[in-house]
Amino acid sequence: MSMVTLQTATPTGASAQTRAPAAPASPVITADGQSPETKGIQVTLRALKRIRIAMAKEKITPDAGGLRVGITGGGCSGLSYNIRFDTQPRERDRVYAFSQTHLDPTLADAPPIRVFVDPKSFIYLHGMILDYEETLMRQAFNFINPHSTKSCGCGSSFST
């Protein structure tokens, strides 16, 4: 899987070291059955496309698993993002389902691509947008997190 990086929003009164995220260049998609005003998890079209490609490469079908997004303690700034595939959501997970018709209108009957978030991680991730960036220099998922107040220089950890 690609490297994980993050972008942070600059809150009022934040230090000059915090950088504001660029708006995603790809359209932002809200999970099925969720209104855009709801503070859930959103993905960009590029991220959804990359998740589907990575799932196919790992031989995980959308009905047999999904992408688990979470946080762990550690890193230069205190908290680190983690991202991996999981076979099923856990009992208390929040599950966000994204229709594959966003990628191809003919996939109306295809199972949605799911994102799983555990309750502890949701505290730090609600309102987040998962984006994917592919340039000549790097390929990575970007976490555009409104709760992050600063990040480390390498971009793999954050604090709130």
Q: Is residue 122 part of a domain?
A: yes
Looking at the domain assignment, is residue 108 inside a domain?
yes
**Residue 138 within a domain:** yes
67 in any annotated domain:
yes
Instruction: Domain count for the chain, please give it.
Output: 1
Please indicate, yes or no, if residue 17 is contained in any of the structural domains.
no
- Domain CATH number, residue 75: 2.60.300.12
15 inside domain: no
Of 123, 124, 127, 102, give the one whose Cα is nearest residue 112.
Answer: 102
Q: Looking at residue 9, what is its pLDDT?
A: 41
Confirm whether 160 is domain-assigned: no
Q: Greater confidence, 78 or 50?
A: 50
In a domain, 99, yes or no: yes
CA max distance for the chain = 48
Nearest to 144 by CA among 5, 2, 3: 5
The pTM score is: 0.78
pLDDT in tens, 86-106: 999 999 999 999 999 999 999
Domain range for 53: 3-10+27-148
